[in-house]
Structure 1
Amino acid sequence: MILGMTHDQLIFIAIMIISIVLFITEYLRVDVIAMLIILALSITGLIEVKEAFSGFSSEPAIIVAAVFVLSAGLSHTGVTDMIGEWITKLSGKGEVRAIFVIMISVAAMSAFTHHLMVTAMMLPIIMKICKDEKDLHASRLLIPMATAASLGTTMTLIGAPAFLLANNILKRAGEPSLGLFTVGKIGLPLVLCGIAFCILMKWILPKTSGEDDSDDKFKLTDITTELIVVENSPWIGKTLEQMITEKEKQFSLLSWVRGDKIQDCTKKDTTLEVGDNFIIRTTPDELVSFDGEHGLVLKALHKFSDGKEHLVTLAGEEKRILKAVIAHNSIFVGRTVAQIDFYNRFGVAIVGIWRKSGWISTGVADVIIRAGDMLVIWGPKEKLNELTNHRGFLMVLPFFASSMKRGKSKLSTSIMLVSIVLAATGTLPAYLAFMAGAMAMILTKCVNIEQAYESIEVKIYVMIAGVIPLGIAMEHTGVDKILAAQIKNFTGDWSPVAMLLIFYWISALLTQILSDAATTVLLAPIAVAFAKSAHISPTAAVVCVTMGAVASFLTPIGHHGNLLILSPGGYRFADFLKIGLPLTVLLSLITCFMSLMIWH
């Protein structure tokens, strides 16, 4: 193949081989490799500088960034938590029912959000289900869940970056653009096939359960704090039962104090009044979510709001919060928070307390501090800086939490649905529809601008921007036609299905060592050139390549989601191969046959 190749073609082959080696060895980060590809193609003059950097403004990169922000909006408004609770309730106690509910739900979510985020969200949920139901085993549920997460991406154009890149390659080749749900014509049958296969072949999987690495025993959870009902609160006049029912996802009630008297929490029909004080247990994210919008504020901060126009809250002020561990020989041990008087002594407020073992049922001010307790402290930055050197604390660490805006859950869901409808109907191009949705999430404060930036996986964005010019250079130098001709000579007079199966399995094997995006960019241009010479639909060939990159389950390293479940499921390498190999064979046959039926 080297004989007769031009200088530019040889240079491109060298750049491609070096890129593949770097991707495989992971000697450098994928985003760094992508930037090196851009520089190499620009410096060698294989493509113009403008084309080399065109990936950053490309539709695939824009859509991926926008979808990350949309997903963050759903997460920060509690929509993903609600979905997790629904799945838990619907899963039941039977193994078949649990597999079906989990897989269909995960596939649906992965069609519109990043599959790795869905896998990470579902992992602790499944581990809890298996812990509560002794007849269910994590190893029987996690591989089906991760499989559904990957298969779900085949139902929409935005499910996986690989499909966006494939669409970009097809448009450059002069082929019709793929619609938002076009790939779903094949993707939906693949999902249904995957669900049926995992249910019928569940006996292949072991009955074991490993450890959930995400379940950190020393994680700051179950913080005890106090809430107070403020003036003009919508809760005034409502019953305790109404509040407990509506706020059960945000906190659990420990005690209720009115004036100086502890109230009977069993009398749930009692109406609430201004100044009612609730001692609760909650999570870090929920702690910073009490912004006074619904008439409940943190008691420790209420004094800071006296005479001020706006309530002082923790929302959006994570940099003004610390968590401090009480040292064994601390002068604070054995004294209550009120006795120490942190506010007058240090100029800070104790907004919550965490204790590894034992119960806290009193108000924060009355808690007798023990060694090992962790205090959540809020105050001016200069005061917090002074506090970090105090000998009474074993260590002082930043407090990381994201405020949950559950009151905007319906709004965030509506924004996501409208974005999908606009893109699906062609009212707006997909990249504009989803970018508009992302901006709507920010403008309506479903997610703040810092959270929006943090939600974007920069590595994925840069990698997409970097591999796009690699595909352009392959087309410009004619390397795609050379490689396509080699494959054509090899396949000879094979049937179209057999030819597409070759491409599917090359892609399936290559994606075990490369990302699905990189695999698609390398093989899709070759598939287009091959299809044109073999008189096969280029769209069918590119779809088969992309499906092979996305829907192959041969090893645990083929998809990052498999790595997440490896330890929690107690899996061995062979467990993935036993169920993944026959499933991939089945999926490849369905994909190739259906591609030729849909795209003649």
Structure 2
Amino acid sequence: MDMLQAHHPLAQQGLFLLILAGSLYLFISERLRVDVTAMLTLLALVLAGVLDARQALSGFASEPAIIVAAVFVISGGLAATGITERIGQAIGRAAGHSESRAIAVVMPAVAALSSFTHHVMVTAMMLPILTRFARQRGMSASRLLMPMSFAASLGTTLTLVSAPAFLLADNLIERTGAEGLGIFSITPIGLALVAIGVVYMLLARWLLPRRLGALGGDGYLRLDRYRTELVVVEGSRWNTRPMADLQKAQGEGVRLLGWLRDGQLRDDLSLQSSVLVGDILLLEASADALASLHDDPGLDLQPIARYRGQASGDGEAQLVQAVVAPASEFIGHSIRELDFARRFHAVIAGLWRRDGDVPPRLAEARLREGDLLVLWGRPSQFAELAAHHGFLMLVPFAGEARRRVRAPVALAILALTVLAAATEWLPASLAFLLGAVAMVATRCVDVEQAYREIDVRIFVMIAGVIPLGIAMEQTGTAQLLASGLLHVVAGWPALAVLLVMFTVAALLTQILSDAATTVLLGPVAVELAQSLGLAPTPFVVCTALGAVVAFLTPIGHHGNLLILGPGQYRFSDFLRLGLPLTALIALVCAWMSRWLWLGGPLLPGG
């Protein structure tokens, strides 16, 4: 016997169960990050002789891991071109003024967004939009955030690629020799779940808590009232075009406060007036819009254009933020008086102030304690600024440029990617990988940002837990557990067994991720189906659905954790609303899975 290797089936099962117990403990306790736990599990399986090196590393080349990484990049491209932001704002406008209409509009729209992008990203995007929407209309944000978060999770059931659990389920089904799932195989179930979710939330609105929420929309996640000045440069594509076109291109993140032409403040110029080279626009902009304006080759931030030559030093110029400290020597002095460019070789390009007015011209603003300055300069000069007692901190600028002019390209790439995968012209993994590469190649998203968009923890965790499922099958542990479960459900109809698999997964996913739950229970579902002499597909799909759309606690989905604070929700709020909804979803999932893959009736009594 090799070191740590046992060939006897019982010995291998024992070793596997010990490794599994240790993995579950680490996953649940979160003593280590999930990706680190997944890698430790993988190494333990190899050292114990349960898997060989090729099997252990197979997860990194698997379709689920490749598709998940590609979807993160494609989502990043949609965000970087402003598509997701515009859609979110359009949803807010369409929601009207009544609570019921807001729920009826927001939930299907958010679900549709989540079908091809990461649902946590969609939740994060919609969170400030909905909190601001609720405040403006005198509503309670807690009445809207939970339906929105639930809809984001329900939307992941509309396509195969929107949740890792479904990709893992497809991988498992294909390993059994059965036909794999297509990109829209689960869509009928997803459409039914979204419709039921919307109807349920409209009927059960009285169960939603009415709380003010911990944070307002303007202050959450990002500051959005930076004062800056913009100059239209020679050769600008905006020259002679209406100001309305520029504002439309930047979305709702830009507000025109004043317009200087030939050094004179002009009251007669409006959004319909043409922009000319040399015009200076006095603006209030969000962080993303300010970064986008700075990134536009036809525009320049006026302070940078004026003092660019004085920003000496090494490295590529960049934007940073600094907070004016209490008792700072800068307090009470105007930006013009400080002569910041000459003194620090950096330029004040923007100003954010929590309360109080700011003069029309940025240079005339007298600094106050707590003012946040957007500085432009070179890294070699920032060391002096960071050490200066006049500032509390020096941090990277929070805004990301939106390449809105490339939005049509990003949409075309997404459409072609989905078409190639849906028609099976290319394997799904290759189609989405090609889509991700196209997003970078067409400069919809920078390659550095594309790498940042990939959640490495999720990628590594998926690559690490796939071998866990292989080991569960190979050691016979899945068959052992299925045999035990079979004794319980022997003689039960297929619908009841499907409900059992959904329920077990729904409970386990409250402490594990949807991917880990699917990997652990998927092989059991396969063995159970084979013992019953039935196709494994509906049992594996029901298991994955239970892992993805169980709303029993706030910890079952990361999106729910995002809204927990802003909505001032309690644990009991999720149980009160989520338990009946999850029970309803379980019945629909089992019923439709039986109809799709076992030839059962679609309508009761059919």
> Normalising by the residue count of structure 2, what TM-score does the alignment of the two structures yield?
0.92
- How far off is 1:35 after superposition? 0.5
The amino acid of 1:110's aligned partner reads: S
Residues 256-265 or 26-35, more deviating: 256-265
* 2:337 aligned residue (336, 339, 343): 339
Q: Distance in 2 between matches of 1:530 and 1:91?
A: 46
Residue matched to 1:587: 585
Deviation at 1:291, TM superposition (A): 4.6
Choose the corresponding residue for 1:12, options 5, 11, 16: 16
Could you say what the CA RMSD is over the residues aligned between the two structures, in angstroms? Answer: 2.3
Tell me which residue corresponds to 1:365.
363
Indicate yes or no: 2:284 matched with 1:286: no
Q: CA deviation at 1:355?
A: 1.9
- Of 89, 92, 96, the residue aligned with 1:88 is 92
**Aligned counterparts of 1:82 and 1:272: Cα–Cα separation in 2:** 24
Corresponding residue for residue 562 of structure 2: 564
TM-superposed CA distance for 1:246, in Å, is 4.7
Letter aligned with residue 102 of structure 2: A
Are the structure 2 counterparts of residues 321 and 10 from structure 1 closer, same or farther at C-alpha, using a change threshold of 3 Å? Answer: same
The answer for the alignment partner of 1:255 in structure 2 is: 258
Task: Answer yes or no: is the 8 Å Cα contact 1:256–1:262 preserved in 2.
Answer: yes
Q: How does 1:368-383 map to 2 (within 5 A)?
A: 368-383=366-381
Check conservation: 1:318, 1:400, Cα contact below 8 A.
no
Is the Cα–Cα contact under 8 Å of residues 218 and 224 in structure 2 kept in the other structure? no
Alignment of 1:57-68 (within 5 A): 57-68=61-72
- The 5-angstrom pairing of residues 140-151 of structure 1 reads 140-151=143-154
Q: What is the correspondence of 1:509-528 to structure 2 with a 5 Å cutoff?
A: 509-528=507-526
| C-alpha distance after superposition, 1:96-118 (max 9, x if no partner) | 22111111011111111111111
Q: Distance in 2 between matches of 1:43 and 1:251?
A: 58
User: In the alignment, does 2:241 pair up with 1:238?
Assistant: yes
Q: Which moved more, 1:63-72 or 1:260-269?
A: 260-269
Alignment check: 8 A CA contact 1:213 1:567 kept: no
Counterpart amino acid of 1:133?
R
Please state whether the residue corresponding to 1:554 is helix, strand or coil. coil
Mapped contact 2:228–2:349 kept (Cα < 8 A): yes
> Which of 476, 479, 489 is the matching residue for 1:478?
476
CA distance in 2, matches of 1:269, 1:504: 57
User: Which amino acid in structure 2 is aligned with residue 221 of structure 1?
Assistant: D
Matching residue within 521, 532, 535 for 2:533: 535
**Cα distance in structure 2, aligned partners of 1:47 and 1:369:** 64
Deviations 1:235-287 (A, max 9, x none): 33334455445545342111111223111155555443321111111122222
Per-residue Cα deviation, 1:44-83 (whole angstroms, up to 9, x for no partner): 1111111101111111001000000100111111111111
- Counterparts of 1:506 and 1:582, CA distance in 2: 16
- Per the alignment, residue 5 of structure 2 pairs with none
What is the correspondence of 1:419-458 to structure 2 with a 5 Å cutoff?
Answer: 419-458=417-456
Change (3 A) 1:286 1:50: same
For residue 303 of structure 2, what is the aligned residue in structure 1? 300
**How many pairs were matched up?**
588
Q: Which amino acid aligns with 2:554?
A: P
Query: 4+ runs of 1 displaced by more than 6 Å?
Result: none
Aligned positions of 1:21-32 closer than 5 A: 21-32=25-36
The letter for the 2-side match of 1:162 is A
Q: Secondary structure at the match of 2:556?
A: coil
Q: Which residue of 2 aligns with 1:162?
A: 165
User: Which secondary structure does the structure 2 equivalent of 1:137 belong to?
Assistant: coil
Give the aligned residue type for 2:289.
E
Question: Deviation of residue 567 (structure 1)?
Answer: 2.7
1:45 to 41, 44, 49: 49
**Contact 1:233–1:294 (CA under 8 A) maintained in structure 2:** yes
The residue type paired with residue 254 of structure 1 is L
Equivalence for 1:127: 131
- Cα distance in 1 for residues equivalent to 2:219 and 2:270: 36
1:72 aligns with 2:70: no
- 1:432 and 1:18 map into 2 onto residues whose CA distance is 35
Are positions 1:211 and 2:214 aligned together? yes
- Matching residue of 2:574: 576
1:566-592 deviations in whole A, cap 9, x for unaligned? Answer: 232232222212221222121111211
SS of the residue corresponding to residue 289 of structure 1 reads helix
Q: Distance in 2 between matches of 1:391 and 1:5?
A: 68
Would the aligned equivalents of 2:38 and 2:461 in 1 still touch at CA under 8 Å?
A: yes
- State the match for 1:499 in structure 2: 497
Letter in 1 for 2:260: V
Distance 1:214 1:512, change over 3 A: farther
Amino acid at match of 1:198: M
* Counterpart Cα distance in 2 of 1:502 and 1:385: 61
Question: Unaligned 5+ residue runs, structure 2?
Answer: 1-7, 599-606
Query: Given that residues 161 and 167 in structure 2 are in contact (C-alpha distance below 8 angstroms), is that contact kept between their aligned partners in structure 1?
Result: yes
Aligned pairs (5 A) from 1:169-248: 169-212=172-215, 216=219, 220-247=223-250
Provide the C-alpha distance between the structure 2 equivalents of 1:553 and 1:69, rounded to a whole number of angstroms: 28
Distance 2:133 2:330 in 1: 40
| C-alpha contact (below 8 Å) 2:325/2:392 kept by paired residues | yes
1:309 counterpart residue number: none
After alignment, is 428-437 or 494-503 more displaced?
Answer: 494-503
Q: Whole-Å Cα distance in 2 between the matches of residues 229 and 281 of structure 1? A: 16
Q: Does the C-alpha gap of structure 1 residues 137 and 374 become closer, same or farther in structure 2, counting only changes over 3 Å?
A: closer
Structure 2 residue aligned with 1:110 = 114
Tell me the equivalent position of 1:34. 38
Question: Shift in Å at residue 329 of structure 1?
Answer: 3.5
8 Å CA contact 2:250, 2:404 repeated in 1 = no
C-alpha displacement at 1:377, in angstroms? 1.5
Matched-pair contact (CA < 8 Å) for 1:124–1:212: no
Q: Is this contact kept in 2: 1:322–1:399, CA < 8 A?
A: yes
Given that residues 146 and 562 in structure 1 are in contact (C-alpha distance below 8 angstroms), is that contact kept between their aligned partners in structure 2?
A: yes
